[in-house]
Homo-oligomer: A and B are copies of this chain.
Amino acid sequence: MSRKQGRPKMGHEPLTRDRILVTALDLVDRHGMDALSMRRLASELGVDPMALYHHLPSKSAVVAGLVERVFGEFHVPSPQNATWQDRVHAVAAAYRDLVRSHPNLVLYLTTDREASARGALEGSEALYAALAAAGLPPRQILLAADVVVDFVNGYVLSDAAGHIGESGERAALVARLNESPVDQFPTIRRVVESLTEEELRGDFHAGLGIILAGIQAMQQGSAGQL
């Protein structure tokens, strides 16, 4: 009688928005965004596709719900006795790890402002507070925070794209480099050839460190003008 394998669930537990989103997130984590369809999601829940529409108005609402849920898991660290630099590193790393835990959702996590706003506020507050502790005036806090956020979003996007496509971070670029005439792109060639595999890897905290040094330079520059 059972049309599907071992699932003991008989469809008894009531369908809820939450149960739908949990299943959808699992589906996306396991099989990617392309696997997320209302029909497949419904069949995963053992339910008629149209039943979903009583809890979520559309597919895009499902995706927004996923982003919201994931950002709900974003618990911002606030290390004690830490420099403002360490606090920025901690928030940024927590965000990077959050996105890494759902790499198939990265495009939506970094892009859907509306759905991520609630969770993003907590991260922003921690970031702004760290920059305020560094002694920056409001306008510089805003500028500095934007740089950090844009960098981190760019990083996680490139990080996740590397995981989704099988090629390592720089593989596609190096492949094209090797296809090109040897007299082209001399600087890239020199850099790539003088570094080991290990040194070619990106470094999140090193990159962030450059930005924090720049923030410090900006702050000291403007303090000098006072």
Residues of A within 8 A of B (CB): 107, 110-111, 113-114, 117-118, 120-122, 124-125, 128-129, 132, 138-139, 141-144, 146-147, 149-155, 157-158, 161, 165, 167, 171-173, 175-177, 180, 184-188, 190-191, 194-195, 199-200, 202-203, 206-207, 209-218, 221
Contacts and interface: CB of A to CB of B under 8 A. Distances in A.
Given A157-B157, A172-B114, A176-B117, A187 B129 contact: yes
Complex copy number for this chain: 2
Nearest to A186: B125
B188 A128 contact: yes
Contacts of A173: 113, 117, 120-121, 124
Given A124-B173, A172-B113, A194-B138, A210 B150 contact: no
A150 B139 contact: no
